[in-house]
Amino acid sequence: MKIKYYGHAAFMIETESGVRIILDPYQSGAFGGALSYGKITDEADIVLTSHDHDDHNYTKDIKGSFKHIKGAGSYEEKGVKVRGIPCYHDESTGKERGTNIIFLVEGEGITVAHLGDLGHPLSKKEVEEIGKVDVLLIPVGGYYTIDAKTATKVMDTLKPLLTVPMHYKTEKCQFPIAPVEDFIKDKGNVKRVKGSEYVIKKDTLPPQSEIVVLEHAL
């Protein structure tokens, strides 16, 4: 499968059979221009949105007749299995920012976990529900989500073979959040990729945990 990073928390996963899954598409120019990544106009077969905030739930620019999934539960579409696990956007059981869905996408023998705007350390129950993860898409910027320190603990708990950080400050995101450097500093297993796409196959996953930093496409 191929993973493409649009920016912020938005990705496309494309399977070898051509099924396209877009996760957490943002509204370009949202929050008075504080989020200035370009519009996501690709075609999709499935769109997953972790919660109803403008930087995670904007589907109007996406092309195609797609299945929109935004709740907890188990789903299957075009041979791709999706599981949604409920959690919270904050450490106050949703009292500050509401709920959030962790999505697990399973295909080609690979499980990808997208944590959305996870705002708290994972409970034992949540870890058990998530299960084995091959690829982890994790917020690291703090303030609205878990920060670099907590993200490291979550990564170490889930033990993915590949971790892709997201939801951090860039020149196109003026939110009061930290840059990706706060997460990757002091870590020796980091690969910076020149580009926004990364191809993953079951038999070429790294034998030990690796962090891959992608450039935003838009």
pLDDT digits (tens, 9 = 90+) for 141-168: 999 999 999 999 999 999 999 999 999 9
Superfamily for domain range 2-213: Ribonuclease Z/Hydroxyacylglutathione hydrolase-like (3.60.15.10)
Q: Which helix (H) or strand (E) holds 104?
A: strand 99-107
Residues in contact with 96: Cβ distance below 8 Å, sequence separation at least 6, in sequence order: 89, 90, 119
Contact 23, 137 (CB under 8 A): yes
Alpha helices in 60-146 (DSSP H): 124-130
Q: Is the pLDDT of residue 96 over 90?
A: no
Burial class (CB in 10 A: 0-12, 13-18, 19+), 116: buried
pTM summary value: 0.97
74 backbone dihedrals φ, ψ, rounded to 5°: -115, 135
- Residue 94's pLDDT band (cuts 50, 70, 90): confident
pLDDT band at 9 (very low <50, low <70, confident <90, very high): very high
- Please give the mean pLDDT across all residues of the chain: 97
